[in-house]
Amino acid sequence: MLEKIFKLSENGTTVKTEIIAGFTTFLTMAYIIFVNPSMLQATGMDPGAVFVATCLAATIGCFIMGFYANYPVALAPGMGLNAFFTYAVVLDMGYTWQVALGAVTLSGICFVALSLFKIREWIINSIPLPMRKGIAAGIGLFLALIALKNAGIVVDNPATLVGLGDMTSLPASLAALGFFLVVALMHFRVKGGVMIAILTITVLGIIFGDVQYAGFMSLPPSIAPTFMQMDVAGAFNVGMISIVFAFLFVDLFDTSGTLIAVAEKAKLLDKNGNLPRLNRALLADSTASITGSMLGTSTTTSYVESVAGVAEGGRTGLTAVVVGILFIAAMFFAPLAGMVPAYATAGALLYVAVLMIGGLRDIDWDDITEAAPVVIVALMMPLTFSIANGIALGFIAYAAIKIFSGKAAELSASLWFLAILFLVKLLFFPG
């Protein structure tokens, strides 16, 4: 049956290899079951329900990717957009988490439409690669600021805007230790290194009396507090345009980049360098995002950590299905997830930030008309505490710099449209 569904021999793999690959991928991305509830509970969402929603969204996404697209790509609520959901859309802009979930639903529906009508290629090809790299780096800097803020390492200062917190405090010290531990474990290629670091810092929190031990396993909490609570009607608001755009396009760029990276590693690209069944993979990703918003979590997306499973020999959707099954098993560890303090996940966030910022090495720094907009988009995300504002200001800056530099011909029709759209939004609908 497995041979018929996943075409194992045709892809040069076996059931045993796929299972090992699935375990490997799960270990590298399982930190999300601790990070996501910890982050989203700041919006007022029930952390137990978010925990279950995170596991279920990942399971459904992995199953769709595995059975429908037959690719060894695992999915789960994405890093970066969960921070945008919490700190920008809800806490800063004042929308309810229900409306924010509605925006995630709308972005997923738009993603499905783009995939069905094959507009995805036109959009991605028309957005300059440096801007895509800049957006990823900006999200990384945004995550870094959140990590340092959660740890108490960076604090507000009325004179200088930000300042250094008390590094002798337990949260700051343990967060720093967690980051050092994550980097060291990943340097030595320890599978599950991020998760090990999070759990280690949590145990130290218990030892020092800062965290109350609440048990190890239990039946999963109720998902009722977040299930089907998305307010789609509330997301139909002019002020939500850039928010829906941010959810949609960051997921679009992230998913496309992840799929290509995993396919290259697994040697799944055809002779023309294209990914067979690409639309199926994109539909799996977008459908999982819609389903995740219904369950009660931020955007679900493909994880680049899937490369770890591919390195262990994973070549088919069976790898993704194994990851999905392991996320089901993870639901019985809710007490453990509930004990994880914010400073225990800060090191993981900072580590992810380092990986995302690394894309800036591909920028042509000798071409100032390319480099300057990238710096704008990357800096404005953390400094305005908004991925949406960073994207908007970045595209406006890109168009303006090209025009003033006599390079307006380099602007595609979609870039003109996006720059004008964002300019109108910022001038007339700044809220």
Residue 123 to residue 415: CA distance in whole angstroms: 9
Cα dist. 128→142, 252, 334, 374 in Å? 21, 14, 42, 10
Q: Which of 196-200, 209-213, 263-267, 389-393 has the lowest mean pLDDT?
A: 263-267
Residue 429 to residue 174: CA distance in whole angstroms: 42
Predicted pLDDT of residue 310: 84
Q: Residue 143 in contact with residue 80, Cβ under 8 Å?
A: yes
Predicted pLDDT of residue 277: 78
Q: pTM of the prediction?
A: 0.82
Q: Residue 138 in contact with residue 382, Cβ under 8 Å?
A: yes
Per-residue model confidence as pLDDT tens digits over 284-297: 888 999 999 999 99
Helix/strand/coil for 385 = coil
Q: Where are the domains of the chain?
A: 2-346
* Angle, in degrees to the nearest 10, between helices 241-266 and 278-295: 130
Q: Which of 235, 10, 220, 207 is nearest to 101 (CA)?
A: 235
Residue 384's identity, in one-letter code, is: T
* Angle, in degrees to the nearest 10, between helices 47-64 and 32-40: 130
Q: Which of 100-109, 169-178, 208-217 has the lowest mean pLDDT?
A: 208-217
> Around Cβ 368, how many Cβ atoms within 10 Å?
12
Mean pLDDT in residue range 249-272:
75
The pLDDT confidence band at residue 183, using thresholds 50, 70 and 90, is: very high
E strand or H helix that includes residue 301:
strand 300-302
The pLDDT confidence band at residue 172, using thresholds 50, 70 and 90, is: very high
> Around Cβ 398, how many Cβ atoms within 10 Å?
27
**What DSSP string describes 147-158?**
HHHHHTSEEEET
Predicted pLDDT of residue 280: 84
pLDDT > 90: percent of the chain: 38
Q: Residue 392 in contact with residue 138, Cβ under 8 Å?
A: no
Q: Which of 41, 128, 54 is nearest to 91 (CA)?
A: 41
Per-residue model confidence as pLDDT tens digits over 396-429: 999 999 999 999 998 888 788 888 888 887 787 6
Average pLDDT across the chain, whole number: 87
Instruction: Report residue 70 CA to chain centroid gap.
Output: 22
Decide which of 206 and 242 is more confident. 206
